[in-house]
Structure 1
Amino acid sequence: MHKSQSRLLLGTVGAIHNGSHRLLAFGAGIIIALLAWYPGSYPITLLALPALWSRLPNRVAAFTLWTTYYLVGARDIPVVCERFFVGHQELSAGMAVTQGTAFWLLQAAVLALPWTILKPERTASGFSYACRASLATLIVTAPPLGIIGWLSPIHVAGTLYPGWRITGMSLGLAALCTASVRSRESATWVTCATVLAGLSLYAHWQEPHRSPPTRWFSVDTTLGRFDQSSYQSIYAQTLQLQSIVRRSFADGASVVILPEEIAGLWRPAMKLWWHADIDRMRAAGQTLVLGMDLTVKASPLRYTDSTVITGAERGRLDSRQPVPVALWRPGGRISAIRGDINQPYVMIAGHRAAMSLCFEDLLWWPHWRTLLDKPDVIVSQSNGWFDSDLALANIQRQSIEAVARLAGAPLLRATNR
């Protein structure tokens, strides 16, 4: 009887112990997500994720930490799905919310899985913890899982090592690995932490001043969802866009940047409607950067989510990762297709511009070139008519700002609400 009671007591204590760790992981995931992202803006707190992950006693607690972090950071997915699919009359409100909730839960579980599987035993060496933390970070940041690689802890690199590009990315990864090491008393850990902190201070001390090219205007619009159901509505919005562009050039702009997909699907009629304006821009040495969809195949409809440079300059860049499910639907009746990841910088008024089209703002891998070869400017175009009042819009802005800061390049953003 005595042994039975002892086992029961130990089992109860163990259950309470595990439960307290899961509750701690749950609370920490919420706090870190809110501090690192909107409404907070302290990406340095992302270092707490691997630090806590390594100290939690089991994989269930680790899974709790990471799923909670991703659930809170991506909390707007159900609302965004409801607004987007109902706005396009593709789903009823109930179906859209149900689908959005399923996506919300699934993305958190999928992104937490590498951290759960790779969590080592508590007796593992510090080197093992560091290697596994590094591998998990890379898995959730790079494709294929990186296709939904938002909220990656590697965003801490832009805060720690601004302007250091690939070196800063590597050091940011090293900082995450160092934070994951359980034994902090060793001379090796102290040396690594001291060197990384010293390099971060030096990076901030020499951080370059970033100012965009003069007379470049990025224009935020409030045109809402583009109704493309009739030529009358298409023509009406085209006239609105032309009026915005003319006013911007009249105010002294030499380059005007409009939001992503703001012109909708480019049709032969639109080429005629824009012909006179483009001729005037070309004659005046003015350049327009315009977001639109370009047809690749009529049936089934395949198109590119593109930015087109016209007027005094000509160029084009296609989105390397349109929004999954919303725009990118492989096998669907209508789908955007992915652009080549090796597309070079576009030249705009003599400057090399790295483009970021909407969903790409949240990811790292489409911007690999900025880590190797500094652009003159980063141009972000977004069409957030369905999320402009939500946390997602601010998190998207924070994400692309982290990319620009690590690249050491000025950022210009044009958004539509």
Structure 2
Amino acid sequence: MFSLPPLLSPAHITGQPAPYAPACVVSTAAGALAALAAWYPGHWQALLLLLPAAWSRMRGRAAAFAVWMGYYLAGARDIPAVSMRFFSGYGELTRPEALVLGVALWIAQACVLATPWAMLKPKSNASAARHALCAAIATMLVTVPPLGIIGWLSPAYVASALFPGWKAPGLVLGITATACAASVSRARFARQFATLLLMLSVIARSVASVPVVPSRWTALDTRLGRFDQSSYASLYARTQQVRAIAQRAFSEGATVVVLPEEIVGLWRPAMGYWWRDDIQAFAAAKRTLIVGVDLTASGTPFRYTDSAVVVGADHGRLDSRQPVPAALWRPGAAVSAIRGSLTQPYVMVAGESVAFSICYEDLLWWPHWRILLQSPDVLVSLSNSWFDSDLALAHIQRQGIAAIARLSGVPLLRAVNR
């Protein structure tokens, strides 16, 4: 039998070892399995450490890219379905058009988030310290803006599993654990450091307690579906539904009631009139309602904030620091949500300091920087999931904000519309 001379072997032609394609397939599958194990349907975020460990063992940037590509594709697998439902639901695109857009966004987000891991992949013979440093830098790049604007599924979430209640130091130790996982098979000092981190994790988990939500605070899930705001008849019907839900909760003894994101839609003068008597009654009875609304910021081009508004016995608001890209946040478009300031203070409600997470923020770390430094008394999450409540994304979103609450040691109240 004839054989290829050395200079014409596949390794020389492609610049990769002969089993190049199979290695990439295996790497992609490994990343996908890690996503399923760490997130829905799995719930073991500590397994995120397997990703940097596998990444460091890959030979070549293509295989390193593949493992993270598989992870982000599997973890964000609902983007095509969400795009189809959302954009066709509002009549902006047909279902086929919205599906095509969703597939493009799904592939693009995986490529964007996997790229830092490929670019920073050291050569196989690089030192353990270099592998650790590159893993830490890549983790930061996919967690904070600009890439962090789509920074869902960040490996930094391992911090909440390992160091609950340790706030900012816990996040730093979690990123350190990611770096350690990338170098643990390469140097003795990395294994010793990993042992230390394991001991600290055992201590953190053993002393962690379950935060308690303040008495008579309640978050209400609703099943009102997509809000049709095309007529005053539909606006009034939704207002009546939401008013009845809030009044029923207060009549059952609640003093603070939380309703979902955008549950009353865009706040108009007519809605202020419809709600006026209720808000005055809430204030007189020392009751507080937290409700999700859209507030007009400018008329031309039309800009609005996706906000949580506090009315009744207390007053305040917080604007979403990152509305959903493409769906709500569309810089340059005729209609777009705008981002709220990252320095917005906590809102005082019934004597408690409250931090907010509005919908898409549940999936991100950076909007919540303050709660890792200055712990609030309560973390309130508002979401509107009429387009994804039956998908894995809804479970992953809940896991994400629960992880942030767990790391910060803060009780979580969450209201969702389905």
TM-score, normalised with respect to structure 1: 0.97
Paired residues of 2:184 and 2:191 also in contact (CA < 8 A): no
Question: 1:414 is paired with a residue of what secondary structure?
Answer: strand
Match of 2:95, as an amino acid? A
Change (3 A) 1:160 1:143: same
> What are the superposed Cα offsets for residues 139-166 of structure 1, whole Å, 9 maximum, x if unpaired?
0000011000000000000000000000
Q: Deviation at 1:375?
A: 1.1
Paired residues of 1:86 and 1:93 also in contact (CA < 8 A): yes
Aligned to 2:167: 165
Question: 2:367 is paired with a residue of what secondary structure?
Answer: helix
Aligned to 1:279: 280
Aligned to 1:350: 351
Aligned to 2:72: 70
> What are the superposed Cα offsets for residues 133-190 of structure 1, whole Å, 9 maximum, x if unpaired?
011000000001100000000000000000000000000011000000154451x122
| Range that drifts further, 257-266 or 176-185 | 176-185
> What are the superposed Cα offsets for residues 2-32 of structure 1, whole Å, 9 maximum, x if unpaired?
8844556675997543233212201101110
> What are the superposed Cα offsets for residues 39-68 of structure 1, whole Å, 9 maximum, x if unpaired?
111101100010000000010001111111
Aligned to 2:290: 289
The 5 A counterparts of 1:176-215 are: 176-181=178-183, 183-186=185-188, 188-215=189-216
Change (3 A) 1:270 1:2: closer
Quote the Cα distance in structure 2 between the aligned partners of 1:20 and 1:332. Answer: 43
Paired residues of 1:25 and 1:62 also in contact (CA < 8 A): yes
Question: 1:166 is paired with a residue of what secondary structure?
Answer: helix
Structure 2 residue 376 is matched with structure 1 residue 375: yes
Question: 2:348 is paired with a residue of what secondary structure?
Answer: strand
TM-score, normalised with respect to structure 2: 0.97
Paired residues of 2:128 and 2:187 also in contact (CA < 8 A): no
Aligned to 2:396: 395
Aligned to 1:150: 152
Paired residues of 2:228 and 2:234 also in contact (CA < 8 A): yes
Question: 1:110 is paired with a residue of what secondary structure?
Answer: helix
Structure 2 residue 62 is matched with structure 1 residue 60: yes
Paired residues of 2:330 and 2:336 also in contact (CA < 8 A): yes
CA RMSD of aligned residues (A): 1.6
> What are the superposed Cα offsets for residues 368-410 of structure 1, whole Å, 9 maximum, x if unpaired?
0011011111100000100000000000000001100000011
Partner of residue 46 from structure 2, selected from 26, 39, 44: 44
Match of 2:369, as an amino acid? W
Q: Deviation at 1:211?
A: 1.0
Question: 2:228 is paired with a residue of what secondary structure?
Answer: coil
Change (3 A) 1:3 1:288: closer
Quote the Cα distance in structure 2 between the aligned partners of 1:351 and 1:180. Answer: 41
> What are the superposed Cα offsets for residues 294-328 of structure 1, whole Å, 9 maximum, x if unpaired?
00111211000000000000000000000001000
Change (3 A) 1:78 1:4: closer
Paired residues of 2:184 and 2:194 also in contact (CA < 8 A): no
Question: 2:325 is paired with a residue of what secondary structure?
Answer: coil
Number of corresponding residues: 416
Match of 1:79, as an amino acid? A
Structure 2 residue 113 is matched with structure 1 residue 114: no
Quote the Cα distance in structure 2 between the aligned partners of 1:94 and 1:27. Answer: 28
Match of 1:139, as an amino acid? L
> What are the superposed Cα offsets for residues 89-117 of structure 1, whole Å, 9 maximum, x if unpaired?
11111111111111111000000000000
Unaligned 5+ runs, structure 2: none
Aligned to 1:219: 220
Paired residues of 2:322 and 2:339 also in contact (CA < 8 A): yes
Quote the Cα distance in structure 1 between the aligned partners of 2:236 and 2:10. Answer: 74
Structure 2 residue 336 is matched with structure 1 residue 360: no
Match of 1:232, as an amino acid? A
